[in-house]
Amino acid sequence: MTTATPERADILIRRAYVVTLDAENRVFTDGAIAISGNRITWIGSSTDAAKIAASETIDAYGQIVLPGLIDAHFHTGQQLLRGKLQAIGRKRPLKLPVWKNYLIPWESCLEPEDVHLSGLVAYSNMLQVGTTCFAEAGGPHPDEMGRAALEVGIRGFISQSTVDQSENIGATVPPNMLFTHDEALEKNVSLVNRWKDGDRVKAWMSLRQVIVCSPALIRDIAAEAKAADVKIHTHLCEGSYEIDYTAEKFGLRPTEWLDSIGVLSHRLHCAHSVLLSDREVDLYQKHRISACHCAFGNYSIGHHRLIEMWRRGIDIGLGTDGPGGGGTLDIFQVARVTRVAQQAIHSSTLHWRDPISSEELLRIATQGGARALGIFDQVGTLEVGKKADILLCNVDSMDHKPMQDPLFVAASVVVGRDVDTVLVDGQVVMRKRELLGVDVERIEARLKERMPVISERFERLIA
C-alpha cells in the first residue's frame, strides 16, 4: 500500500533497514518511518522522507527497525524469584510441580509495593530486550502491575491470580492466594472495570488453571468476560496431572470439558497448550481459542504442536512464562529455541529437516502474539495506521556482518541486547539503552531493601 508522503510528523526514523513483517514482507534497505501521535503515518525511502518536516528525527543509520516483540504469557509476580529456585535446588531436590510448591507461595509473600517493584524490574527488562507488550498470566496485586507498566511505558494486559479450589492439587495454597467463588469473581470484574478506560494498559480476567478453579467460577468468569468483552488468561494442557483431573472427574480431556460447559471462545487465551489431542486442536481452531508457546519450559512437558497450530490459523504467540521459565525475558531467544526444538521433533519423527524458518518464528513473536492478544489491528507489524511500537536494533558489530539480508539478520542473529532504542505507542521509552521512564538507582535501592524481607518470608513458608 502506498500512502502520500506527509508534510510533517512528530517523529521521523531515517536511514534504517526497515523490516516491516507486513503481508508482502517488505524490507526497505534505506528506509524511513513517520510517526504522528501514537501511530505510524508513513513508511518509505529515506530519500522521500527528506520532504517531511519532523519535530524529532532519529538517525537509524546501520540499524534494523522491527515491530516490537510480544510476550504473550508472563508472570510479573515471579520476576524477583529469578535464580532463587536454582539456588535452592542445589541444596535439596525441588518439590514438583514447581508452580504449586514454589511459585504461588512466592507470590503470596509479596506486598503491593513488592509487586510494583517486580513490575518496574520486569517491564524495564522487557524493553531492554525488545518486548513492547506483555500479557500477565494473573498474579497478586494486579493494580500495582498496571501502575508499574504505566510508569515504565510498556503496553500490557494485567490480571489477577484466580484460585478458588485447592483440594485437588496436593499442596497447600497460601490463604491470601485462595479466594471464595464470590471473591474471585468480584476481584476479576472490578479489576477489569478499574482499567477499562486505559489505552496502553488494560486488564483481562484470569483463571489460574482448571485444577484450581471451580466449574462454577469458570462459567461465571466466562460470562463476565463476554459481557466486558475482554480476554481470560489461563494455563491449559500444561501437565499430565491436569488431563488426569478432568478425565477422572468429568470423563473428558481439559479442552473438551471446557467445551462441554460452554466456555470456549476467542476470549480464552491458553498458555502452553502442549498436551493437546487432535480433537482439542480442532476445538482451538473451531472456537478461535488463542494460545501461547513458552519454549523454555514446554519441551519438558511434550511435543508442542506449534507449527500445525500456526499454519491452521490458530492465534498463537510466544512467551517467556516469566524469568522462572528460562531465566531470560528475551523473546528473540524464545524464538530460536522454538525453531530448534520444532526441528528436533519433526526431524526425529519425519526426517523433516527444515519444518519452520527463523523468519516465520519472528512473525509468530510479533504478529502471532498480537493476534493471540486480540490486538493485531493495532500492533504486530510496521504498517501505516498501526500504533508505533518499534525497535531499533544495533547491527554494526562483527556479530552481524556482512549485512546481505536484513530479514535474515533480524530473525537469526539479533538478540534482545542488540536493541538500542524502543518506541511504544509513539513515545521513545528507551534511547540508546537508557530507559526514560525509570529511575534505575531507585529500583536498585528498593531491591536491596525488599529482597531480604521477601526471601526470608518465602524460605519460612517453604521450609
The least CB distance from residue 92 to Zn ion, in Å, is: 24
Nearer to Zn ion, 218 or 391 (CB): 218
Q: How far is it, in rounded angstroms, from Cα 74 to Cα 95?
A: 22
Residues engaged in binding Zn ion (CB under 5 A): 137, 321
The least CB distance from residue 99 to Zn ion, in Å, is: 7
Nearer to Zn ion, 81 or 137 (CB): 137
Nearer to Zn ion, 3 or 101 (CB): 101
The least CB distance from residue 122 to Zn ion, in Å, is: 14
The least CB distance from residue 438 to Zn ion, in Å, is: 25
The least CB distance from residue 360 to Zn ion, in Å, is: 24
Q: Which residues of 174-192 are buried (b: 16+ CB within 10 A; e: fewer)?
A: beebbbeeeebbebbbebb
- Helices 215-228 + 181-194 axis angle, to 10: 20
Q: How far is it, in rounded angstroms, from Cα 342 to Cα 61?
A: 35
Beta strands in 239-315 (DSSP E): 268-272, 290-293
Residue 14 neighbours by CB distance under 10 Å: 21
Contact 65, 33 (CB under 8 A): yes
The least CB distance from residue 69 to Zn ion, in Å, is: 18
Q: SS3 for 190?
A: helix
The least CB distance from residue 440 to Zn ion, in Å, is: 27
Nearer to Zn ion, 137 or 390 (CB): 137
Nearer to Zn ion, 36 or 166 (CB): 166
Give the angle 368-369-372 at the CA atoms, nearest 5°. Answer: 85
Could you tell me the strand order of the sheet in which 205-209 lies? 205-209, 232-236, 268-272, 290-293, 316-318
The least CB distance from residue 238 to Zn ion, in Å, is: 8
Nearer to Zn ion, 11 or 232 (CB): 232
Nearer to Zn ion, 80 or 137 (CB): 137
Q: How far is it, in rounded angstroms, from Cα 40 to Cα 21?
A: 14
3-class SS shares of the chain: helix, strand, coil, % to 5: 45, 20, 35
Nearer to Zn ion, 320 or 358 (CB): 320
Cell numbers linked to 131? 518486548
The least CB distance from residue 242 to Zn ion, in Å, is: 13
Q: SS3 for 214?
A: coil
The least CB distance from residue 75 to Zn ion, in Å, is: 6
Could you tell me the strand order of the sheet in which 155-158 lies? 69-74, 131-136, 155-158, 201-203
Closest to 73 in 3D by CA, of 136, 140, 10, 157: 136
Q: How far is it, in rounded angstroms, from Cα 305 to Cα 350?
A: 14
Instruction: Give one DSSP letter per residue of 385-437, joined into a string.
Output: TSB--EEEEE--STTT-S-S-HHHHHHHT--GGGEEEEEETTEEEEETTEETT
Nearer to Zn ion, 117 or 137 (CB): 137
Nearer to Zn ion, 246 or 298 (CB): 298
